[in-house]
Every structure is written in structure tokens, then in C-alpha cells.
A and B are shown apart, each in its own frame.
Chain A
């Protein structure tokens, strides 16, 4: 990966932001191993250490996407290898559920990836990170915070519009007219 750290899109300032939740015992250590072995890879992944992939609350994933991540990577131990017996299976079930959920929300399922990477698989970590950065670069930004802002603006405009119309109608509809505060925003 000679050009690993060059910007994948030289003409654009946008780069994928990927939040990673790694199990302390396998994938986090694999990332350490990749470091010790100086396996160069893309710098777009920000790793958050957890004790087990079973600790990954689906809300962490949604929060990361909502806060501006373009994708989320979860790394756990291979089946049968979980340091805590079966936390990785729990993670797998949540992942399957989340995959469908984010698809229903209109988010490409590729933006969520679960990989089993053992402590010895520094090479695999490098490959997965690079693949993921390439995939997300092709998909483009998710930009949920910007979308939220836009949706908030739209809702506000709509509320203003309704208020203006009610005012023009002469205040006849009290139950609508008094309720002029903006509707609850999507991500609140």
C-alpha cells in the first residue's frame, strides 16, 4: 500500500470518517500488532477500545453515524474465541439487526461492518481498514449532522409557514395557532 496515506480523492477535501469499536483482546491488539509491524494503512479510522465486542451498544453505532461518522467498523474475536465466552455472538446478533435497521433508515448497509480479527491478524486489520476506506470513499459522505440541520431548517420553515397561514386566516384555529414553536427536531 504505497499510497495508503495519500488522500483517496486528491481533488476533494472530504475524507471518510470511520469510527471503530474494537475488542481489547483481539482486534485492538491486532491494530497494535499492525503498528509494531509498521503495516501502513489509511488514517481515517478512529479506534475506541472496549473490553468486548459484546459491549457495542447499537446506540453507539447510531450515535457515531449521527455525530458525523461516514461508517462504523466493529472488530471482535473469531467465533469460539471470545475472551468472555460468547460476547461476539451477542454482537453478531445486534449487528444483523442494526444492518437492517440502518438500511430502513436509508443508510447504505456497507457503512456498518463487523469483522472477526484475532490478535495475530495485523495483516487482516490493515486489509479491512483499507478496504473499508475505499468502499466508503466510493459511497461518499453520509453527512447526517448536515442533513439534520437541513431537516431542522425545513421543519422550521414549515412551522413558520403554518403559523403564517393560520395568522392570515384570522386566528380562527386556536388549537393550531398557539402551537407555533418548532416541531421537535429529528435527532433531538
Chain B
């Protein structure tokens, strides 16, 4: 198709299209009336309605009209421009016009979906259409800016989501920086015993992937590290990573753990984080046997060779009071370095995948369940560790007093579906509770009582799993647990009573049990807020990172080039996390493989009548504006300008113009929306 080059002084001929969107728009807005109204406005040559403008025939309609009716401006009144502006720009371009001769009117999200009065909604649609029709004659042909993209990828978070995304990209030949806050990758999945619904061992499927990360030539694995700063934009992010000192030189340590054996502490006596404090470790330790990188670390808070307490800058001071048997054991490898300090790494990447995961709900926030008060109340993750063969009890489900529980209650929805704590369903608790019920029964032959509100088992194989577990002779009680208290008849043994109303039989139940397992829900990571600021993301009101579109852009964010994977976006199970991580990797790959990013040409430029007052220069956060000494005028560096328009609004002589948002365009919109008779 021959591109239509606008001739000078050619009369503006606008094509106006209003979409029914099935009944989404047409049921509230009288689309025919809007089309008739638009036809009366100046410059409108064609005015039509169509059932689905975004469909192929809808777009072809535009292209056909451009050719047949010699249209040179297009206005489509439909959904939000954030959804379909791109679609219609493409259609405009396919018709032979510059894509920026297009303007979109949002009459679905901003009108038909939020108003019920047909007259008022129709008037609003007319006013908004009028604004666009008045605006579009001022549009100029613009060109999309193409900027090269750095092929490296940063992945933040080394749980199963980050691991999967990293391997996918690294296998495709891309250089990946995987940054993990903890000393090892693996995340929550590494702590699980079995996974539902297949009951396959979590570590058996995870550890090969972890090992692959550790040995992959395309992956820079930085554990015990945090992203400190992110600058730049899609294609060219400048990232600062802070690597915390683990006092072991990663390149030299072979993971033999002879240092651990040689430590002056003969017995492990410090709470082991990986086992949630149920087990013990030494001051020098490997987080868990399959840790990647297989490198030990030193906890300076308890190691005798360090002074207690941190310095104001967060570092620790070496006391040199220990015999340093660990150094002796390490011998010639010389992998232990008490003087190690934090290391700052600066990298440039083109895309970022955020996979920072979740935290489990702190059950102490619901005092009547007695977590943290009664020793026999556990959260589900602690029980995972008790069941796990490499856990603190080597797979024996025993209470803190060493006894095997004979009766176990599992309380669902702890910190989920609760007005007082978190309102959302954490999605995985019903299923992992069924899994734990099965595993506890398998390990202890105990009677297991599941107290649930609703049994939620969506997903492939999940309902079958529920039926299977139910048939194993579990007690499934529909009722929210109201109280957990020491058994008045048997208090000394730590036995507890779980009280709930069985809402199917309308009976109050008081069941004495030896162990209570709280199926704690999933919560946004405590650092989500600071991460959100750093990566310029949005959060839902609950604190989960917000995807660009819940259905059509589920891994994209509002910041181009930054993608989401896993539970940082919302609670999900392992298969969904992996699927999402794959999607995020594919999105990143699609950007990289294209080789360039297209940037909205909404940058600003300076007119000749700039008087050189320099008031715009300090306003630009990207230092895109400079002062040309020879001409005594300001100049804008187009590659640095991000198109916010702050300088435009401040120019006292009106000498700065923002493409796509020119003053004259905004003024014609203001005039358009205030049209008489449309309120």
C-alpha cells in the first residue's frame, strides 16, 4: 500500500468509529446517537459504529475508509488506549497513514462500565468524542524512536520462578545475572518435602535445576546480594548490586565443610534459619546440604572471631579472639576471609525479571490460635521441615518434647479470607493442607482433622488429589476454628483443644489434639514496598506487584522491560509460578531478540523563540536539557528525554513542545469536553 503523504493545506478528513464492544459499550451508551453527533462535527468525513472495532473486520473497515474516503485522521471511541491504542495505530498505519494521526477515546472503562444512566453516559461519550475530533487535526506525523537493547537480563530472586526464568534465558544464550538475597538459591520450594498433587519430592525436582544454575556458563549467580539501585529504562538499565560479605571466598571454597567440622563450637547451638529455628547450626555453616552455591558462610553475630554487634555502617569488626580452627582446616585453599567487606557491582542489563516471592503469614497475628505461645502449635512450613528427611528431625514428625503426635488438627485459612488479617485466598493452603494431612498420617499414623471454610481445589489433578486424600480416612470438618487452648484435663502434656463449629451439622466441636498445624497464607514480601519503589512498579492494594493487564499482559509491568514471575505478583502454586517464569523469560527474550525497543515519540523539543531563560533546565530529572552557549537557547537531547512534559508546562514563553501532547492539542481537548449541552 502506498503511504499517504499529507499535502500542505490538505483539508482534514476525519474517520470516526465507535465500538459496541458487544454490549459492553452499546448497552449503556447510545452508540448510534454518538456516531450521528460526531458526523455533525467539523472535519468528520466518515462516522460509523461497529460491533467490535478491534476485530480484523473492524480494523479493515478503517483501512478501507482511509483509501476510499481519503481520510487523513482516525478517531476510535472504544476501550482504554492502554489496551488497544497500539492496535488502532497499526490499523491506521496499515491503511497508509502515519500511525500518530490516530486518537483514541475511552468510553468503556471511563464511561459505559462506570455509569448506568444511558443519557448521561451517552453525553459523556459525545463530549469525549468531540474532544478527540477537535484534537486530531493538530496531530503531526511522527516516527517511532528505535533504541538498541542490551541483551543481558537481571533476575531478582532465586526461588523456583527466578531459577526457571534464568535457565530458560541462559539456555537461549543470553547472559543472566541472578541476584538472590539469601546465601543460597532455592527459595521456599527448597524447604518443602513433597509437592501436591503428585506427591513427588520437592528437592528431587528442584536440585538439578539449582545445580544447573550454579554451573551454567551464561549465569552470574550472586547470592547473599541485594539490588541497591536501578537507573535507566528498557534496553538499558544500570543496576547496582550489593554483595554482602559471607566471609568465605566463593571462588576458593569447595563446599567440603571441613571448616564446619573444625569449628571451635563442637555442637551446633544456634537457631538454623533454613529449618525455621527447629534445628541448630554452628557459626560457620552451609545453609542446607544441596545449597547452591555450595559455599559455607560465617554468621558474624555469633562467630567468636567477631565482636558482637554491627558497626553503624552495618559491617562487623574482627576480634581475632578465636583459635580459628576453621582456617586451619581450610588449609591451603585459604577460602576463609574474616576481613571480607561488601562488594558493589554495577551492571547494565536490557530487561529485568522480578521474582521476589512472598512471605508466610505470621500466625502470631491471630492470638487465639496460640502460635508462639503453645509449643505444639506449628505453622505449615515448620511441619514441612519436620516431615523432610533432611530436616531437623530427619523426617520424624515429633513434637518439641520428642513425642509422636496421635491426633493432629490442621487449621485452614490462617491469615487468608479473613477480614481482620488478609482478605485474599492464598490459593495453595487447601492443597498443601491435604498434602500435609497425607504425609503426617503416613509418618505417624495419627488421626488428622482438617478444619476448612471451603475446600478449594482448582487446577489439573487437584480435585482428584482431594478425593484421594479424603478417601484415606481424613476427618474433613467444614468450620473455621474459633479457639485453640490447653486441654483442661490434660494440660501438663501440652495437649490442646481445638474448638470449631461444624457448619454442616451445626455442632460445636471441641477436639483434643497433640499438635495443631496452622495453614498460614501467603503475604507480599516485607521488602516489596522498597522493591516497588526501586523498580518503579505498582502494587495492588494488598501489596502484590501489579501486572500491566490481568489477562492480556499478566507478566508485564507498567515499566517497560520489567517483568514479573511467581508469587510476588500474587499467590500461586509451583506449576503456575514456573509457567509464569517461562512467560516472563519469553517476554524478555522477545524484546532482546528484536534487537531494539520502540519508544513512544512523545519527547519534547525546543522552538526557535526560546529566550534562553534556563528555567526548564533544572526541572528535567533526566538532564536531557542543556544550554547552547552559541545560540543562547536550550536544547533537548531526544535520546535522554522520556516525555513527561514537565518542562513544557514550565516554559514561560511557551517555546517547548511535547510531541503527542502539544499545548494546542490539550486546549482543543479542554474545549471539546466542555461542549455545551453535553453535561
Give me the interface of A with B, judged by CB distance under 8 Å: 4-6, 15, 17, 19, 24-26, 28-29, 31-32, 34-36, 38-41, 43-44, 46-52, 54-58, 60, 63-64, 67-69, 80-81, 83-87, 90, 94, 118-121, 123, 126
Contacts and interface: CB of A to CB of B under 8 A. Distances in A.
Interface string B536-565: 101111000010001000000011000000
Nearest to A86: B621
B124 A35 contact: no
A48 B111 contact: no
A58 B120 CA distance: 29
Nearest to A31: B110
B81 interface: yes
B121 interface: yes
B642 interface: yes
Contacts of B143: none
B627 interface: no
B546 A46 contact: no
Contacts, number: 154
Contacts of A29: 82, 538, 558
Interface in B629-659: 642-646, 648-650, 658
B600 to A, nearest CB: 8
Pairs of residues from A and B, 5 with the lowest C-beta to C-beta distance, nearest first: A35-B109, A55-B645, A54-B646, A84-B644, A46-B673
A180 B120 CA distance: 46
Interface stretch (B67-75, B159-167, B456-464, B664-672): B664-672
Q: Which of A6, A58, A87 has the most CB of B within 10 A?
A: A87
Given A47-B106, A50-B661, A40 B116 contact: yes
A184 to B, nearest CB: 21
A58 B117 CA distance: 33
Given A38-B114, A39-B114, A57-B663, A64 B619 contact: no
Contacts of B619: 90
Contact of B673 (A19, A51, A54): A19
B674 interface: yes
A28 to B, nearest CB: 8
B670 A35 contact: no
Contacts of B674: 17, 19, 46, 64, 67-69
Contacts of A118: 538-539
Nearest to A39: B114
A51 B661 contact: yes
Nearest to B646: A54
Contact of A49 (B81, B621, B643): B81
Nearest to B600: A51
Interface string B91-127: 0000000000000001011110111110011011001
A43 B124 contact: yes
Contacts of A60: 666-667, 670
B110 A119 contact: no
A31 to B, nearest CB: 6
Nearest to B116: A5
Contacts of A64: 670, 674
Nearest to A5: B117
B646 A35 contact: no
Contacts of A19: 670, 673-674
A40 B115 contact: yes
B679 interface: yes
Nearest to B135: A48
Contact of A46 (B117, B128, B643, B666): B128
A55 B120 contact: no
B648 A52 contact: no
Given A19-B670, A46-B674, A120 B541 contact: yes
Nearest to B128: A46
Contacts of A48: 131, 666, 669-670, 673
Given A15-B679, A63-B670, A83-B536, A119 B116 contact: no
B602 interface: yes
B658 A55 contact: yes
A54 B645 contact: yes
Name the prevailing secondary structure of the A interface residues: loop
Nearest to A34: B114
A90 B648 CA distance: 12
A32 B80 contact: yes
Nearest to B121: A43
B229 interface: no
Contacts of B648: 55, 57
B334 interface: no
B111 A50 contact: no
Contacts of B475: none
B533 interface: yes
A165 to B, nearest CB: 37
Given A19-B673, A54-B649, 9 more contacts: A36-B113, A46-B128, A51-B661, A55-B644, A55-B648, A83-B558, A83-B644, A123-B541, A126-B114
A55 to B, nearest CB: 3
B288 to A, nearest CB: 37
Contacts of A58: 649
A38 B114 CA distance: 5
Given A35-B113, A43-B120, A60-B666, A55 B661 contact: yes
B679 A17 contact: yes
Nearest to B533: A80
29 contacts: A5-B117, A5-B120, A17-B674, A31-B109, A32-B109, A35-B108, A35-B111, A35-B114, A36-B550, A38-B113, A43-B111, A46-B124, A46-B131, A49-B106, A50-B645, A51-B602, A51-B644, A51-B658, A54-B649, A55-B649, A58-B649, A60-B670, A63-B670, A68-B676, A83-B559, A84-B622, A85-B621, A87-B646, A123-B541
A77 to B, nearest CB: 9
Nearest to B536: A83
A6 B117 CA distance: 7
A61 B65 CA distance: 37
A64 B670 CA distance: 6
B89 to A, nearest CB: 15
A92 B649 CA distance: 13
Nearest to A120: B540
A40 B114 contact: yes
A48 B676 CA distance: 17
For B108, B117, B539, the residue with the greatest tally of chain A CB atoms inside 10 Å of its CB is: B117
B671 A67 contact: yes
Contact of B533 (A28, A35, A52, A81): A81
A81 B531 CA distance: 12
A44 to B, nearest CB: 7
Given A47-B110, A80-B533, A32 B82 contact: yes
B668 to A, nearest CB: 10
Interface string B398-425: 0000000000000000000000000000
Contacts of A36: 109, 113, 550
Nearest to B532: A81
Contacts of B120: 5, 43
